[in-house]
Structure 1
Amino acid sequence: MTTMSAETTKRALLLENIDAGAVDLLESEGWKVEHETRALGEDELIDRLDGIHVLGIRSKTEATARVLQQAPDLVALGAFCIGTNQIDLSAASQQGVAVFNAPFSNTRSVVELVLAEIISLYRRLGDKSHKMHQGVWDKSAVGSHEVRGRRLGIIGYGKIGSQLSVLAEALGLQVRFYDILDRLALGNARQCGSLEELLAESDIVTLHVDGRPGNSGMFGEREFALMPQGSMFLNLSRGFVVDHAALREHLESGHLAGAAIDVFPEEPAGRGDEFRSELRGMPNVILTPHVGGSTEEAQTDIGQFVAGKLRDFCSEGSTALSVNLPELLLARRDGTHRMAHLHRNVPGVLAKVNGILGDHGVNVEGQLLGTRGELGYVLTDIVADYAPELVRNLQDLPETVRLHVLH
């Protein structure tokens, strides 16, 4: 496993058409950036990671344990999206690879699409637009309704669910939510004590859960059956949480009046590839190609945010908002060298680090230690020049996972 030093020319590989602003930010710092519009499979990704220090992906590229174990030069990984279920976080930690994502940047874009789709479903705008494109003038109010007064059930009351709650209430929707954690209800929203309670009381159900493995298949025949006759269903969270065959059955039977789906269990690898789904061709079903957060505003924000986190980690060792490493932020001191030491979280490592520095006659100017699970992370600023032997001594500690000399 390589050590990153201040003299290293940073090389980044950004996949899946990540916003060009991220490329500009990194290149302005002297990085060499390779930019691809598509996702890469496991074997191709391994081949491309030779000599790459930073990898940027979205939702289609999978950073598996095999990928991470065969990428000794990789020091940081950016998920230019909210979710990180496409990354083996345990393997990343074991390899000393810092992982960052964008937990806030596309929240507003997703919420706006949810509201637009709720209104579209109740007005049957998708069907009406399709007929108009076929030359059919079908001016009728039959089956078209206002959303005011409808009961909206939000499953998952995190960043997206809670913001949706506020805006939906402003439209006149009655909001209730269910979350496995106790959450502060915003406005007049009401927390339901169980998923069953929420389903029974909601005219519209929208999913906003994360990608943890335990959520796979969480919504299927049983849950659809508990929803009221004529209700609407939306999923803009993760494709694998919903049984689409069961959803189709409840739409065909008329039990559900409509649905809007943005995420799917299997999605095409790139733009223009064929999309397959049992939901294609169904009336009053809005299908979108995983674009909940795909606005220019959101993608610009995500590109700047995640690229900034990657830059700060590689230049300063900052792990603020890291998904998998202890979070540290140490102000830079002019005229110092900074060493970032990631190690197994066992007693006595800090004493060993400082003992080695003392043996080499090096005084500590600033230092910060943090731990997270099995990992410990210490940032140390020193003034004096140091011998290469000092770096080797730190690397050779049995607890060392990775060492970077940053400046």
Structure 2
Amino acid sequence: MAAHRPLVVLSDPSIRHEAVALLREHFEVMILEAYPSEQRFAAAAREASAILARLGTVTRAVIEAAPQLRIVARHGVGVDAVDLDAATEHGIVVTTTGAANAAAVAEYTFALLLTLVRKTAEADRGMRAGLWQRDPLVGAELDGRTIGIFGLGAIGSRVARQALGFGMRVIACDPMLTRSPIEGVQLARRSEVLAAADIVTLHTRLTDDTNRMIDAQALATMKLGALLVNTARGELIDEPAMIAALASGRLGGAALDTFAQEPLTADSPLRSLPNVVLSPHVAGQTEEAVIRVGVAAAYSIIDDLAGRRPAFVYNPAAYERRAQLGRFLEPLAPVAG
């Protein structure tokens, strides 16, 4: 009789086939539809030893419905779509994929920013409509402008270096740093960055401290006509306050890849504002990055179920909790060794 193979549940079918194939060498794999409901996710996870989560939220209800669950491997760097308290309580390790998509996100930050300041989307639409108009497409240069970066991690640091290459003055706020790790980048307090920057770009994790960090007060602190770029998490911004600032012209423009509610609703006011560039949370999606991220998440699962510690564990306290509970102390035989 064939040995029982552990079950790995994938939150959605967008995870690359290279990662899926790697997991299928060792496990049974169940792939859900994108953004599964909590009820659907919980039902699927009942027999699961691992979840690979991309387009889906792993709530306490999902975790508590899955008594065999050992690991939630996030496809990317954000863990806000996982109930970390519930995971740690149950000895469930939560992992990220480190800097696997940092280059992709940093490059896309400038793709969005350049689209906003150089009006490339409007130029393309006009040409496709048979127009040849140049005066409405006068843009602005990045050279000499000040960019304010929130978060100098793997992505924010790349954005800072690229900004220096554009000839920009770079200031940054990162509470984890006491001095700048990059020559030419000045560290400053949050209020100082907001007040000095022509462009504010967000590259920080979503936490209780950063939730809605760009609120009405922050927007009022920014320069009149300043620009805002977000390729991090939509919840970092108070969307109603941002929409009001965009509509009034207080905020000159925004380039957004992430939103407080995803998918963005069809009737969102953001869709009708002329000074906004929108994209559907694809900053990390290059051919190279989605393979790296998917495979890294798959290896996190393989390592944990084999009794090895994955590379990027977000909640190391889960190991102490496992010892207290006497759970998951032995590897699963099919992937041991």
Same fold (TM over 0.5): yes
2:172 is matched with 177
The aligned runs of 1:4-153 (5 Å cut-off) are: 8-16=4-12, 17-29=14-26, 31-58=27-54, 60-140=55-135, 143-153=138-148
User: AA paired with 2:315?
Assistant: N
Return the alpha-carbon distance in structure 1 between the equivalents of residues 322 and 40 of structure 2.
32
Return the alpha-carbon distance in structure 2 between the equivalents of residues 67 and 191 of structure 1.
41
What is the aligned counterpart of 2:275 among 278, 281, 284? 284
C-alpha spacing 1:81/1:405, structure 2 compared with 1 (3 Å): closer
CA RMSD of aligned residues (A): 2.2
Map Cα deviations across residues 48-95 of structure 1 (whole Å, 9 max, x no partner). 11322111111x412111211111122221111110111111211222
> Which stretch of the first structure deviates more once superposed, 318-327 or 88-97?
318-327
Unaligned runs of 5+ in 1: 1-6, 328-341, 343-370, 378-397
- Asked if structure 2 preserves the Cα contact closer than 8 Å seen for 1:127 and 1:283, the reply is no
1:322 is matched with 313
Return the alpha-carbon distance in structure 1 between the equivalents of residues 291 and 146 of structure 2.
34
2:284 is matched with 293
The normalised TM-score by structure 1 is 0.76
Number of matched pairs: 330
User: AA paired with 2:9?
Assistant: L
> Which stretch of the first structure deviates more once superposed, 123-132 or 144-153?
123-132
Map Cα deviations across residues 265-317 of structure 1 (whole Å, 9 max, x no partner). 1112xxxx953422112123100001111222111000111101110111233
Map Cα deviations across residues 166-200 of structure 1 (whole Å, 9 max, x no partner). 111011111110122225331211111x2111112
C-alpha spacing 1:376/1:97, structure 2 compared with 1 (3 Å): closer
- Asked if structure 1 preserves the Cα contact closer than 8 Å seen for 2:91 and 2:322, the reply is no
What is the aligned counterpart of 2:303 among 283, 291, 312? 312
C-alpha spacing 1:173/1:99, structure 2 compared with 1 (3 Å): same
Q: Does 1:275 align with 2:270?
A: no
Deviation at 1:100, TM superposition (A): 1.4
Map Cα deviations across residues 372-405 of structure 1 (whole Å, 9 max, x no partner). xxx365xxxxxxxxxxxxxxxxxxxx75244324
2:326 is matched with 400
- Asked if structure 1 preserves the Cα contact closer than 8 Å seen for 2:202 and 2:229, the reply is yes
C-alpha spacing 1:376/1:141, structure 2 compared with 1 (3 Å): same
1:381 is matched with none
Return the alpha-carbon distance in structure 1 between the equivalents of residues 38 and 136 of structure 2.
51
The aligned runs of 1:202-351 (5 Å cut-off) are: 202-268=197-263, 275-325=266-316
Return the alpha-carbon distance in structure 2 between the equivalents of residues 262 and 75 of structure 1.
31
Secondary structure of the residue that 2:98 maps to in structure 1? coil
- Asked if structure 1 preserves the Cα contact closer than 8 Å seen for 2:98 and 2:312, the reply is no
Return the alpha-carbon distance in structure 1 between the equivalents of residues 138 and 314 of structure 2.
46
Percent identity, please. 29
Unaligned runs of 5+ in 2: none
More RCO (CA 8 Å, sep 6+): 2
- Asked if structure 1 preserves the Cα contact closer than 8 Å seen for 2:52 and 2:73, the reply is yes
Return the alpha-carbon distance in structure 2 between the equivalents of residues 40 and 206 of structure 1.
30
C-alpha spacing 1:80/1:399, structure 2 compared with 1 (3 Å): closer
- Asked if structure 2 preserves the Cα contact closer than 8 Å seen for 1:98 and 1:319, the reply is no
- Asked if structure 2 preserves the Cα contact closer than 8 Å seen for 1:74 and 1:97, the reply is yes
Return the alpha-carbon distance in structure 2 between the equivalents of residues 255 and 129 of structure 1.
27
1:345 is matched with none
The structure carrying a bigger helix percent of its residues is 2
User: AA paired with 2:183?
Assistant: G
The normalised TM-score by structure 2 is 0.91
Return the alpha-carbon distance in structure 2 between the equivalents of residues 309 and 187 of structure 1.
34
Return the alpha-carbon distance in structure 2 between the equivalents of residues 217 and 320 of structure 1.
30
Secondary structure of the residue that 1:126 maps to in structure 2? helix
- Asked if structure 2 preserves the Cα contact closer than 8 Å seen for 1:157 and 1:208, the reply is yes
- Asked if structure 2 preserves the Cα contact closer than 8 Å seen for 1:127 and 1:284, the reply is no
Return the alpha-carbon distance in structure 2 between the equivalents of residues 102 and 292 of structure 1.
15
User: AA paired with 1:267?
Assistant: E
C-alpha spacing 1:219/1:405, structure 2 compared with 1 (3 Å): closer
